[in-house]
Each structure stands twice: as structure tokens, then as C-alpha cells.
Amino acid sequence: ITVSDLVDTSYKRISEVDDKVKAFLTLNEEAARAQAKALEESGQAGEALFGLPAGIKDNIVTKGLRTTCGSQFLSNFNDPLYDATVIQKLNAAKSITVGKLNMDEFAMGSSNENSSYFTTRNPWNTEHVPGGSSGGSGAAVASGQVLFALGSDTGGSIRQPAAFCGVVGLKPTYGRVSRFGLVAFASSLDQIGPVTRTVEDNARVLEIISGHDKMDSTSANIDVPKYTESLTGDVKGLKIAVPKEYLGEGVTEEVRNAVLEALKKYEALGAEWEEVSLPHSKYAVATYYLLSSSEASANLARFDGVRYGVRSPEAKNMIEMFKLSRSQGFGEEVKRRIMLGTFALSSGYYDAYYKKAQKVRTLIKQDFDNVFEKYDIILGPTTPTPAFKVGEKIADPLTMYANDILTIPVNLAGVPGISIPCGFSSEGLPIGLQLIGKHFDEGTVYRAAHAFE
Ligand code: GLN
């Protein structure tokens, strides 16, 4: 099999299924085929991801390849000047970018319905959402259009679509992967991570994209272990904590049963588990929406119709140009968050909202630290329910926000978390199992996930 065959297979699959799945916003066909040819002619095949077709979430900047963040505002951002660090690393490992994947606008959403282009569909049942915001990444991998994808996760956006689409998605420890070239949503929470079909593939991709980067001052200067070496299959004596808050109200019977079945399997493999408490979990959603919206309101100030994006043609002066470009360019959800965040940061309210939320964030992080003093892994569902229907939650932002209740605490604490498939609902939709590890201990997360597969 040649690299061109692999790339061919990917585009063939895209032409067969993507009019139904709608995962791709932009294809990179000409360049990808040329790259495949060049790799073949080079006659070398040493690099880790040699010739493997990849899809990239559209908030990761790709040189010369349109990057829209799922927003009409950036519909004309056709020619970015540089590659994100993760893209440079993938290029060095010789994977091939076949295209850019759909997402909720600026990564704000849990269903892909906030994309300002179209809604990606769940490949298992196209009446259902693929999850979000990396819904395109989950759907493209699940439907076999690419071998792996990159997503980004601020409050669950890799793990939740992975759960809904029945694939493997990892949010690394905050600082493990460079954010340089990831269009910022909430800088203290955002991380890029791999979406794959297997745990081993996931570990291989993370090995490539991780590491310190002088272009991202929040990237950690810590060695990157060989994650594939932790895939031993051995979980004897592994201490698993199951937070009671993660199996409580709102979690469906089917999801709970799937998780309990998973625990039985771990027991059979020689692991031990106990129930624990993460007592501040109930404040996580409110804390997250306050902090992430505050950070977003500052990060999205750069979209002004001057430096990036579509400029309103109707503006008669400079102030009107900012106002009209932003009010025409951003969608409803993005505007809602900018307004919420601007309010929370405004003088007179800062202490009552933003500062308080920061304090609660510390308490949530301490909950995790306490549990990790005694346990190796925290286990629970990734989401309270399997994939919901397109249209079911879009009218009510608060119900939509509540869907992330089990993934958000992980971002607030900065720890790594993976979602792996652990069964199906009676409707035939995948259920995701979430495994959460200590800071920079992706190795144990992968070991536990791999043993379960
Ligand atoms: N669904 C969450 C939100 O809307 C998380 C998004 C994300 O992780 N990017 O903010």
C-alpha cells in the first residue's frame, strides 16, 4: 500500500459519506495528494505518522489552508501565514492533512449546532448530534474518513464528541500540548488533543504533538514520556476512584449501568475501586461558564474587522466598522458569551463574579488533589446521556450547558481525561467511559484505557 492509496481511500470515503455526515468545512485535496506523491518519492518511511490521513479541527491554524473556527466572521481567512505548533509537529512526523473539520463557532457549544456553516451529524444515527465543539473531529474518525483527528477541549469538547461518536478522545494535562496557533477561546482551559479509533493510536499521536514550546509560555517544560510503552494491559492493583457525584441525578440508567459494567471488568483485571466524593462538582458548570466567558470576551476582542475577518461594508466610520462587523460576524451563542464575560469582568462586578469563580475553581482543583492522594485514576461516565437529537436542546442554553457537567471539572483542575467507548444504548448510540488522571500522568490514563479495550 502506498501513501497515495491511503490518501485516496480517505477522499473516497469522504465523497461516499460526507454529504450525510458533514464533518468537513474545507478539503485540502490538491496539496494532500501532492504531499503523498512527494513522500512516496522520498523513499523513506521512518517517521511516526508517515502518510497517515488526518483531519484538523478548524480552530487550529494551518498555513495557506482556510481556518474559519466554524464562524462566518472568518469565512475569508483563506491564507493563514503560519502553522500551529501541533501542525508543524504533525508535518515533521509526515502525516497528511486532508481537510479542516466542522465545529461550534469558536468552540462554544456541545452539539455542533452552533457552527455558522452547517451541523455535523452523528454517523451512528444522523438524526442525532455528534457532540461538540469538536463534533467534526469525532464524526470524521467514527465514519472512517480519516485515521485520526485533532480536536480542542475547553470544557469537554474532545471527550464529549468522542463519547457521542464511539471513538477515543483525550484532553491532555493543561500545558502538555502547545496552544500556539490554536485560536483562543478560554486560554486557561484550552488544550488540543487527539481523536482516534483506538487508545494506541491516541497515545501515538499525543507523543508527537506534546512538548514544551517557546511560543506558548503556558506549555510545560517537562519531558514527554513514550506513552505507547505504558500500554501493558496490566492494571493489577490500580486504585480507581468513582465519584458519587458522577453517577447521580441526570445520569441515565443505561449510562450508569454501562459504567458499573466497566467497573466489573476492571475488577476482573485485578484493579480495585471505591466510591469517593468530589464535593464541589455541583459548582463546576457555573464556575466554568463564568470564567470561560470572561476569558472569551477578552480573547475575541481581536476580531474587529480590521485585523481578521469579514469587514461590514455598511460602516460609515471606524466605530461603526467595529460594531457592525462584530454584530454581523458573530453568531448568537458567541455574542451571549461575550456579553456575559464582559459583564462579569466589569468594574463593580469583578469581585462578586470573576474573583469568586476563581476561588471556587481552586476548591474544585483541591477536590481532585485530595482524591489523587489515594487513588491512581478517577472513573465515571463522559456524559450523562448518549447523543441527543438535533434540535432537542438548542432553544435552551442552560440544558445544553448542563450536558458538560462531567467533563468541565477536569478542565478547571487542569488534569488529563480520556473518553473511550464502553457500550451502546438501547437506541444503538455509543456510551463513553471517562478516565481522569493526575497532572502529567497521561501514561496511567492510557494504561487503564488500553486494558479496558
Ligand atoms: N460545551 C462547552 C462550551 O460550550 C465546552 C466547549 C469546549 O470544550 N470547547 O463551552
Most informative mutation of 57, 105, 110, 189 for ligand 1 (most atoms within 8 A of CB): 110
Rounded to the nearest angstrom, the distance between the alpha carbon of 153 and the centre of ligand 1 is 7
Atom of ligand 1 nearest to the CA of 109: 4
pLDDT digits (tens, 9 = 90+) for 280-326: 999 999 999 999 999 999 999 999 999 888 999 999 999 999 999 99
Residues marked as catalytic: 57, 133, 157
In the predicted model, is pLDDT for residue 188 greater than 90? yes
pLDDT digits (tens, 9 = 90+) for 223-269: 999 999 999 999 999 999 999 999 988 899 999 999 999 999 999 99
Most informative mutation of 60, 152, 154 for ligand 1 (most atoms within 8 A of CB): 154
**Pairing status of strand 272-276 against strand 239-243:** parallel
Rounded to the nearest angstrom, the distance between the alpha carbon of 270 and the centre of ligand 1 is 35
In the predicted model, is pLDDT for residue 400 greater than 90? no
Atom of ligand 1 nearest to the CA of 185: 9
Closest CA to 377 of 299, 446, 331: 446
Spell out the residues 6+ positions from residue 228 whose beta carbon is closer than 8 angstroms to its own: 200, 203, 204, 207
Rounded to the nearest angstrom, the distance between the alpha carbon of 183 and the centre of ligand 1 is 14
pLDDT digits (tens, 9 = 90+) for 354-371: 999 999 999 999 999 999
Q: Strand runs (DSSP E) across 205-271, as ranges? A: 239-243
Give the mean model confidence (pLDDT) for residues 81-105: 97
Q: How far apart are CA 29 and CA 218, in angstroms?
A: 34
Rounded to the nearest angstrom, the distance between the alpha carbon of 160 and the centre of ligand 1 is 9
Q: How far apart are CA 97 and CA 7, in angstroms?
A: 9
- Name the average pLDDT for the chain: 96
DSSP string for residues in 65-78: B---TT-GGGTT--
For ligand 1, atom 4, name the residue with the nearest CA: 109
Atom of ligand 1 nearest to the CA of 411: 8
In this predicted structure, what is the pLDDT of residue 31?
97
Helices of type H across 330-439? 332-345, 356-372, 397-402, 408-413
Atom of ligand 1 nearest to the CA of 110: 1
Q: What ipTM did this prediction achieve?
A: 0.98
